[in-house]
Amino acid sequence: MSDQKNYGMSTKALHCGWKCDPTTGASALPIYATSAYQFKSTEQATKLFNLEEGGYLYSRLSNPTVCAFEEGLNAMEGGVGCLATSSGQAAFNHLICALCSSGDNLVVSRQVYGGTLTLLQNVFSRFGISTKLVDGNHPCQFEAAIDDNTRGIITETIGNPVMNVAPLEALAKIANRTGVPLIVDNTFASPTLCRPIEWGANVIVHSTTKYISGNGNLLGGAVIDGGNFDWSKFSNKFPTLAKPDPAYHGITFTEHFGKSALYAKLHAAIIRDLGGCPSAFDGYLLHVSLATLTLRMEKHSKNALEVAKFLESHPAVEWVSYPGLDSHPQAYLAKEYLKDGCGGMMAFSVKGGVEAGRKLLDNLELIGHMANLGDSRTLIIHPASTTHSQLSTEQRMAAGIDDGLLRLSVGIEDIKDILEDLSTGLDAATKK
């Protein structure tokens, strides 16, 4: 689609990535269930494998159905290219492998998803890549932790599960000043509510399992290259991008692909070697889901604000953390970065601690008790005993995850039904 950046978000969601089948004129995106593609000639095959020509050669590297989704999500985030992966964890895994080597480190907000922290601390630490955890609400801590071996800053637009809002502009200035990319996990907000690249972020990561899908029917992830980090200025820091690649006859990705160097590296080399590609069917489902993302996020945000106000006023609730509430400590940042809504995620705690929380969970009927979020249905979970249970008590407390915290993913059901189910659960939680 030409001049796609002039279109609104809903239009991009519907039109970017696919127009019609060039052979039949069919308007619906086909599921290209194929592993390989017929080459037109030996010359074309050689050019494809040498990165001298764009096209399809094997579905681990690219697939037309998946590419349609990638182009759509990339247009919505405002990047120069998107790599879809088989899960959100795979997205981070592939990105870190593209940027880091043994001896390097990453400066990471301690408020990010527990699975991200365990990936970094339990897996990449074995390969000599260390993690420096800092308080994600204080930019000065990021800057103090950065050294000559730092290869990136990692934060989340909205923290999982404590719901802090990242100071994106301040972090972008620090990243720019110190010569490292700012990597933002935008899963909780989605591009319809916040586009971190517009605030100076360099790389965006998603678990597309969540809001991008919205149906709880697949696993997926994505990395979007913002095209706004000059890797060539820091060739010693990022040799895989800014120095000749022996696996591609000495091609230097920054010279060959310019602003799209990271995107090209991820697509041509990293996913080729690590293999975390999505299926064509998942690419199809994700592309279909993009069409309704704007509408869904609007309803998620509207419902969540009403739920947050209800919980905040309920006598059985200890506290509520939702960026749309004036009581939220980063409400001023939410007003700046999340003008179109604060999404469907919140955290709260019930008076009576863990036991009261268990009673609430066991007495819900409509709301699902599941290890997922961003679904169109309302879901709830107790992070300390599930999603963040791999962290030590000290690590959880440092991140603001107390033992009574409940993570609520508000869906798009009728609001009265959500509130009635919560009322039933809260009544049960307070019974002696």
Mark which of 258, 290, 322 sits at the end of a domain.
Answer: 290
Domain that holds residue 364: 295-430
Region 251-261: what's the mean pLDDT? 97
In sequence order, the β-bridge partners of residue 245 are 251
- Could you tell me if 313 and 233 lie in one domain? no
- Could you tell me if 281 and 307 lie in one domain? no
- Could you tell me if 255 and 400 lie in one domain? no
CB 268 within 8 A of CB 51: yes
- Could you tell me if 266 and 355 lie in one domain? no
Residue 425 resides in a domain: yes
Overall domain count for the chain: 2
For residue 399, pLDDT beyond 70: no
CB 211 within 8 A of CB 77: no
Strand order of the β-sheet with 405-409 is 317-321, 345-350, 405-409, 379-381, 368-369
- Could you tell me if 346 and 310 lie in one domain? yes
- Could you tell me if 176 and 220 lie in one domain? yes
Residue 338 to residue 340: CA distance in whole angstroms? 6
- Could you tell me if 280 and 415 lie in one domain? no
Q: What is the pLDDT of residue 394?
A: 78
CATH code at position 81 = 3.40.640.10
Mark which of 290, 307, 323 sits at the end of a domain.
Answer: 290
- Could you tell me if 115 and 222 lie in one domain? yes
Q: What is the pTM assigned to this prediction?
A: 0.95
Region 54-63: what's the mean pLDDT? 95
Kindly state the helix (H) or strand (E) to which residue 206 belongs, with its residue range.
strand 203-206
| Type of residue at 430 | T
For residue 390, pLDDT beyond 80: no
Q: Widest CA span of the chain, in angstroms?
A: 78
The per-residue pLDDT for range 302-338, each reduced to its tens digit, is: 999 999 999 999 999 999 999 999 999 999 999 999 9
The per-residue pLDDT for range 265-308, each reduced to its tens digit, is: 999 999 999 999 999 999 999 999 999 999 999 999 999 999 99
- Count the helix, strand and coil residues of the chain and give each as a percent rounded to the nearest 5: 45, 15, 40
Spatial neighbors of 404 by CB under 8 A, at least 6 apart, are: 318, 349, 350, 353, 354, 356, 357, 384
Among residues of the chain, what percentage have pLDDT more than 70? 97
Spatial neighbors of 101 by CB under 8 A, at least 6 apart, are: 128, 129, 239, 240
Residue 27 resides in a domain: yes
For residue 1, pLDDT beyond 60: no
